[in-house]
Amino acid sequence: MSSRQASLQRGGTAVHLAPGKWQRLGSLTDEEGRFFMLALDQRDSLRRALGAALGISPDAVAADHLTGFKQAVTKTLAPYATAILLDPEYGYPHVIEHLPPGVGLLLCLEESGHEKAGPGGRERKTRLLNNFSVEKAQQLGADAIKLLVYYNPDASAEVRRHQQEIVRQAGGACARAGLPFLLELVSYAIEEAGTDTAEYARRKPDLVARSAAEFSKPEYQVDIFKLEFPADLKWTQEYANGAFDGKVREPVYSLAEVRERCRRLDQVTDGPWVILSAGVTIEEFLVQVDLATEAGASGFLCGRAIWKDAAPLFRDQVAMEEWLDTKGVYNSLRANAHAQLALPWMEHRL
């Protein structure tokens, strides 16, 4: 049941969205229209984490390991989320029965990882899962569709066109099904030596904003964006002394400049957006949530920042569940609390 206030807010705005999508989006939020969503569709990154915990190579990690971990996280943390993002392979079939009533469901369309592409193989193409589709996701009860696209607006034209076409097609399929389309954009380094460099930290705000602007075009039919934080807090003057990972860096911007980048991202994004964690620590993520929601984000869709420290305990089921029950819940509660001032999605201009 919802607060009457939420009803009035919704009634009082003029949002242009197909009513079926509107109804489904409401299944992903709290009563005010804010997203506190748990990402659990990790595959390759989870294989690496569980492989490390088990002392085996990622390739040797069994499907049962992935599903066992996803079950433990779902049972403990899904009750604190307004929605959960699952992959249809290792997640959905094994955890759906542990989802409490009222927790919304997103299913992802893409394969984990990316195909190397472009000159020198430094660019990235997204691959869709075989034998899966928007229609199948709907039949499985999905409230929304998620697609992750690696995107660098300075990549070669061929790679950009490939990524754009995948998004366009997914947008069309979602529109036909009446399902909200959540697009996740992740940038990557092409020229730079890596993402943890001063050069990349400097470029990141621009990469994130230009990507969001591209896919804000109506032809992609994106309903909600899952975006990276448009800067690297570890390279800000205020946090460059190792606040989040103990490493000292030469700052490239100030927190005030980062705030401005967040506002710019909100301005160029034509639709509601949530922030992703990309595996940063929970402490860094909570600052990102503060700044993103201050700028107009409608919440978060976060996985690893909340539950990643459970993975190293995977060999000891009891210790892992104890961690999830205590620190995992603590992380969820803090993330939810930090997103309390998020903008209800229907108040975002669409």
Taking CB under 8 A as the criterion, which residues in 170-189 touch a second copy? Answer: 176-178
Tokens of 213: 């602007």
Residue 273 interacting with a second copy (CB under 8 A): no
Residue 300 interacting with a second copy (CB under 8 A): no
Query: Is the distance from CB of 268 to CB of 213 less than 8 angstroms?
Result: yes
Residue 337 interacting with a second copy (CB under 8 A): no
> Nearer to a second copy by C-beta: 13 or 164?
13
Distance, C-alpha 22 to centroid of its chain: 20
Query: Is the distance from CB of 119 to CB of 157 less than 8 angstroms?
Result: no
Q: How far apart are CA 274 and CA 266, in angstroms?
A: 10
Residue 326 interacting with a second copy (CB under 8 A): no
Shortest Å distance, C-beta 26 to a second copy: 3
Query: Is the distance from CB of 343 to CB of 298 less than 8 angstroms?
Result: yes
Residue 131 interacting with a second copy (CB under 8 A): no
Shortest Å distance, C-beta 23 to a second copy: 3
Look at residues 147, 10, 124, 143 and name the one whose alpha carbon lies nearest to residue 81.
Answer: 143
Interface mask toward a second copy for 225-244; x: CB under 8 A: --------------------
Please spell the DSSP secondary structure of 277-336, one letter per residue: -TT--HHHHHHHHHHHHHHT--EEEESHHHHGGGGGGTT-HHHHHHHIIIIIHHHHHHHH
Interface mask toward a second copy for 84-123; x: CB under 8 A: --------xx--xxxxxxxx-x------------------
Tokens of 333: 């509660």
Which among 137-145, 182-190, 207-215, 304-312 is the span making contact with a second copy, rule CB under 8 A?
A: 137-145
Strands 83-86 and 123-125: unpaired
Shortest Å distance, C-beta 166 to a second copy: 23
Residue 334 interacting with a second copy (CB under 8 A): no
Q: Please count the residues of this chain forming the interface with a second copy, following the rule CB under 8 A.
A: 50
Residue 236 β-bridge partners:
253
Shortest Å distance, C-beta 140 to a second copy: 4
Taking CB under 8 A as the criterion, which residues in 201-230 touch a second copy? Answer: none
226: enclosing H helix or E strand: strand 224-227
Q: Which residues bind a second copy (CB under 8 A)?
A: 1-4, 6-7, 10-11, 19-27, 29-33, 36, 75, 78-82, 92-93, 96-103, 105, 138-143, 176-178, 336
